[in-house]
């Protein structure tokens, strides 16, 4: 979340413009599945899970170091995330039944943003271990067999598998060599699961990141900046049909799909106060799921 840390010190639990005020979790319909997210309500960033309607939040990590970016296994039995509990950012997996924690990487470089594959055999992650920049890597589910998929000096982030595991979406930061006035423009790219066939998906002004495939693979949700405002967007998987979903007066970012593809869970707010919301793709109904001060972010909806 390097880009967000610099650009998004945001979130107020208010509703979005051009919409009715969001309703609280106890007014919402019963949600489905579990949502993992990160919150600093206990004093530092911890991984929590809650019901799909925001009820029953539970602290899973309970550690005084940063724990961030949870991602579900396809069968819902474990969460992968990264943590600085051993001195630098490494990737871990937690078995949700036993709460047993397994460290998967062990390298002096920064290893972050793990995403298990749909078949459970591999995990995507980002690392700067090649000293070029932060690039996309993949490893076997037990941390062995690490392979580098991208290799360039451009900063990259937010890897994501397609539902069938054949493609990987990720963000690559592009910069005009003559422009030193601001951070490079982030665009979303696609490649095959072996790192080949790289192609650019988005081509819009402003930084775009956080791509997530819909459960059926037909659409991709992401967050993007336009005129210094972060909103949620959807686009067809072939790059057509770009739509601003939130068009919000506050910051909206880090979307993830509900198992039925009808909702996106996301982070929204401003002025240092972030909460978790969800929005219906068709009706644009918004529901607030957390209601605390500080930061609630990086939601991931269990399939």
DSSP string, 150-166: --SSS-EEEEEE-TTSS
**Residue 261 pLDDT class (50, 70, 90 cuts):** very high
d(CA 103, CA 81): 10
pLDDT on residue 178: 56
Number of domains in the chain: 1
Distance CA 277, CA 109 (A): 33
Task: DSSP for 175-193, please give it.
Answer: --TT--SSPPEEEEEEEET
pLDDT in tens, 24-64: 343 344 447 999 999 999 999 999 999 999 999 999 999 99
C-beta of residue 222 within 8 angstroms of C-beta of residue 255: yes
Is the pTM higher than 0.85?
Answer: yes
Contact 165, 193 (CB under 8 A): yes
Structure tokens at 178: 């003559």
Give 92-128 pLDDT, tens digit per residue.
Answer: 999 999 999 999 999 999 999 999 999 999 999 999 9
CATH classification at residue 78? 2.120.10.30
With 0-12 / 13-18 / 19 or more C-beta atoms within 10 angstroms meaning exposed / middle / buried, residue 276 is: buried
Q: How crowded is residue 216: how many other Cβ atoms within 10 Å of its Cβ?
A: 11
Using the predicted structure, report yes or no on whether residue 167 has a pLDDT greater than 90: yes
Domain that holds residue 22: 2-301
């Amino acid at each position: 979340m390097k880009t967000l840390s610099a650009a998004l010190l945001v979130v107020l639990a208010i509703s979005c413009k051009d919409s009715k005020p969001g309703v609280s979790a106890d007014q919402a319909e019963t949600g489905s599945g579990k949502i993992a997210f990160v919150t600093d309500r206990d004093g530092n960033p911890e991984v929590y899970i809650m019901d799909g309607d925001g009820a029953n939040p539970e602290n899973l990590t309970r550690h005084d170091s940063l724990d961030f970016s949870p991602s579900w296994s396809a069968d819902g039995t474990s969460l992968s995330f990264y943590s600085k509990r051993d001195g630098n950012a490494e990737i871990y997996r937690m078995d949700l039944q036993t709460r047993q924690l397994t460290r998967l990487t062990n390298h002096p470089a920064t290893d972050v943003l793990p995403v298990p594959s749909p078949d459970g055999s591999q995990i995507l992650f980002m690392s700067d271990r090649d000293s070029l920049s932060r690039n996309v890597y993949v490893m076997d589910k037990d941390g062995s067999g690490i392979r580098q998929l991208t290799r360039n000096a451009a900063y990259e982030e937010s890897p994501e598998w397609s539902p069938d595991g054949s493609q990987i979406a990720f963000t690559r930061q592009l910069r005009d060599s003559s422009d030193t006035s601001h951070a490079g423009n982030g665009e979303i790219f696609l490649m095959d699961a072996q790192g080949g066939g790289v192609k650019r998906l988005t081509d819009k002004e402003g930084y775009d990141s956080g791509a997530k495939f819909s459960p059926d693979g037909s659409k991709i949700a992401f967050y993007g900046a336009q005129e210094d405002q972060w909103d949620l967007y959807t686009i067809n998987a072939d790059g057509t049909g770009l739509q601003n979903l939130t068009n919000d007066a506050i910051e909206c970012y880090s979307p993830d799909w509900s198992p039925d593809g009808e909702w996106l869970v996301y982070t929204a707010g401003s002025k240092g106060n972030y909460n978790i919301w969800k929005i219906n793709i068709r009706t644009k109904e918004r529901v607030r799921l957390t209601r605390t001060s500080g930061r609630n972010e990086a939601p991931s909806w269990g399939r």
